[in-house]
Structure 1
């Protein structure tokens, strides 16, 4: 456990520290685009936050290579890391191009398929598939590659679809990564399956990346992850899913059980990787399916954008942005906990049940009208304080910049002052309150 927590902390700290630098670079390299009708934010905000997340990912991988346990169980016995580096590198390149200049939807889909194919052919693919009621099906190379690529592309677009509110995609992916971490660590420790270590390590890294980025992306966001970040998170979550499937031998698990009841619960662990990714990201996947059906029924392209996603509907019925995000967090956490609960024997269920009860109570409080008003009032006061602090910091910079532009020109005439670029073309500051 210690090694995984250290790797998670490295990803967290590096992502947090580099996001500010990436934000400054993004403002100069990729100026924030103009607002669109479907956008929820009111001020242009820089993107490319996914680059900082990728730096945190690389730093965590480099650090993990020097930890004895992870070096032995992940780097020496698995082809996971080279495949992830190739696939994620290609997606980062595609994401940067899309966030800076824009890419056609079909071209972007082709790029996603290509990056997924490179990662899968490098070794990150499903070798066999457990099917309830039938048993284990060994996949031939073609079926294995096609199914693995399909999982990656679906997961990438599911995360991309949910990236519509400040902190929403990062938090949902953090919840999914933590659920995978809990499941994979239980496989490794409770079932003595060391081949689960790659999935556990990647899940810990993804959680750390998301936590570090959320420090800058929570509403009001100072930077967005863009397609660079959403596609990277989707690829990594898909890789965790693929690595978790096929790591448990059902016959050995059932034979190790001491009773039929224990065997039933233990055998459920075989099929959880088939369900867990869809439960953790159930809301974005349902949203993606609804969007495709809605747009196709209206005679539009399924890749065309609209303002009818689940988070948009929560805003339309009166929830604030922060509360809408928290509601989706809690729903995802409850669904994920319910799936993990199914694999746990009754004596070990109370902690999970208590956690689910606390999550349900918090969700109920968020939905109460009185709690809404109090939460919104606190959010307004907090954002007002942040706005005042940012305004005080920006005044000296703007004054110095305008004073420099007022220096006399070559013929003795004072040059006209340029507009305050701190707000117009540089640091786009988000209004609060």
Structure 2
């Protein structure tokens, strides 16, 4: 207990320090993305990854807080996914490379002995989905970090209920590191999570939830896993629905995520983060209650209904501007441009 508090405090302070120190090197190296007409450095995720791994391995090395069977391998796999995300931040890897790398890492750590092969394959697919969903959540300042902190607390509570102390400590360290990062990522953000931090966060949270539910029936596990990641799921569903209806490529970015549409409704960036945090807290709480047996599995239907209402409600908020129509080749504007080009 005392080590968990000390580890979380150290993770919070170190993540805040490292995120501040990595901001200028990221800007100088050009590891940035354009967000609201400003360059945002993307090495904040690296700070979260390094601090989480260092603090967790300190507990393992000193044997004060051993990670437990399978959790050490999970942390190694998450670090490999983070490294792949860092490469994507620097060199812009194709999406299919990220999907394949995350799937391989997930397949290496899923506990098939307890889940069975069929459920294990479903778990791999779900882990990849959640990892990419958290990657998509990093579309606006503060959103991925806020949802990640709340989800980590919920998954940590489930791990503690299953007497997986090492996993619970790891998740508390992750939550603290994300909180330290949020000191620099709260709107207006000075540094971003990037693919490195968002994939690491989603991968670690999804795998931790699978570990806590290994050995349980698939139906009861869905009643826990879905509420833990309901906000990230809603964001993905909204984006996919919007882009399919608009005839846009699913890989083409756009202002069509949850936070973007909340901004269009008049909320400021901090307000959108707070509202999404409240929604995440409510859904994660349902997952924890179902996991602990304090409420029935039917409670997940309320979460599913809430996700449906949010997606369909925000879908009606315009996300894309009117398409610019190109003038016909024989229009006076085109003829004038051609005369200018030809001298």
**Residues 1:80 and 2:71 aligned together:** yes
CA distance in 2, matches of 1:91, 1:81: 14
Instruction: Please state how far the C-alpha of 1:158 moved relative to its aligned partner.
Output: 1.2
* 1:311 corresponds to: 259
- The Cα shift of 1:209 comes to 1.5
**Residue 88 of structure 2 aligns with which residue?**
98
Residues 311, 21 of structure 1: CA spacing in aligned structure 2 closer, same or farther, 3 A cutoff?
A: same
TM-score normalised per structure 1:
0.62
Gaps of 5+ in 1: 130-138, 189-195, 251-269, 347-433
**Distance in 2 separating the partners of 1:103 and 1:109:** 11
Structure 1 residue 225 and structure 2 residue 173: aligned?
no
- Report the counterpart of residue 236 of structure 1 in structure 2: 204
Q: Distance in 2 between matches of 1:235 and 1:222?
A: 24
* 1:184 Cα deviation after fit: 2.3
Query: Which position in structure 2 is the counterpart of 1:298?
Result: 246
Per the alignment, in what secondary structure is the counterpart of residue 42 of structure 1? Answer: coil
- The answer for the alignment partner of 2:127 in structure 1 is 152
Give deviations 1:180-239, integer Å, cap 9, x for gaps: 222322332xxxxxxx22431222122112111111111111100111111010111012
Q: Which residue of 2 aligns with 1:57?
A: 52
Deviation at 1:316, TM superposition (A): 0.2
What residue number does 1:125 align with? 111
| Cα distance change of structure 1 residues 84 and 326 upon mapping to structure 2, 3 Å threshold | same
CA distance in 2, matches of 1:217, 1:49: 8
Q: Deviations over 1:300-322 (max 9, x none)?
A: 33222121111111000100000
Deviation, 1:271, is 6.8
Query: Contact between 2:226 and 2:287, CA under 8 Å: does it hold in 1?
Result: no
Question: SS in structure 2 opposite 1:4?
Answer: helix
Counterpart-to-counterpart distance in 2, 1:93 and 1:182: 28
RMSD: 2.4
Structure 2 gaps of 5+ residues are: 296-343
Question: Within 5 Å, which residues of 2 pair with 1:384-423?
Answer: none
Q: Distance in 2 between matches of 1:109 and 1:187?
A: 30
Q: Deviations over 1:85-135 (max 9, x none)?
A: 1x2232222212211221222232223223333x42xxx434445xxxxxx
Give the drift of 1:6: 2.4
Written as runs of structure 1 = structure 2, the 5 A alignment for 1:349-388 is none
2:176 matched to which residue of 1?
Answer: 208
Inter-partner Cα distance in structure 2 for 1:92 and 1:158: 15
SS of the counterpart of 2:39?
Answer: coil
Q: State the shift of 1:69 in Å.
A: 5.3
Structure with max Cα Rg:
1
Contact 1:53–1:213 (Cα < 8 Å) also in 2: yes
Do 1:175 and 1:333's aligned partners in 2 also have CA atoms closer than 8 Å? yes
Kindly indicate whether residue 275 of structure 2 is the aligned counterpart of residue 327 of structure 1. yes
SS in structure 1 at match of 2:40: coil
- Tell me: CA distance 1:96–1:32, structure 2 relative to 1, closer, same or farther (3 Å): same
Counterpart Cα distance in 2 of 1:276 and 1:232: 21
Change in Cα spacing, 1:183 to 1:31, as seen in structure 2 (3 Å) is: closer
Distance 1:17 1:323 in 2: 26
Instruction: State which drifts further: 233-242 or 196-205.
Output: 196-205
Q: 1:290 to 1:11 in 2, by over 3 A?
A: same
Return the alpha-carbon distance in structure 2 between the equivalents of residues 110 and 145 of structure 1.
Answer: 17
Going from structure 1 to structure 2, the CA distance change for 1:333 and 1:30 (only over 3 Å counts) comes to: same
Inter-partner Cα distance in structure 2 for 1:108 and 1:340: 30
Aligned equivalent of 2:155: 180
Report the equivalent of 2:12.
12
2-side partners of 1:145 and 1:345: how far apart? 27
Question: 1:200 and 1:271, CA in 2 relative to 1: closer, same or farther beyond 3 A?
Answer: farther
| Cα drift, residue 149 of structure 1 | 1.9
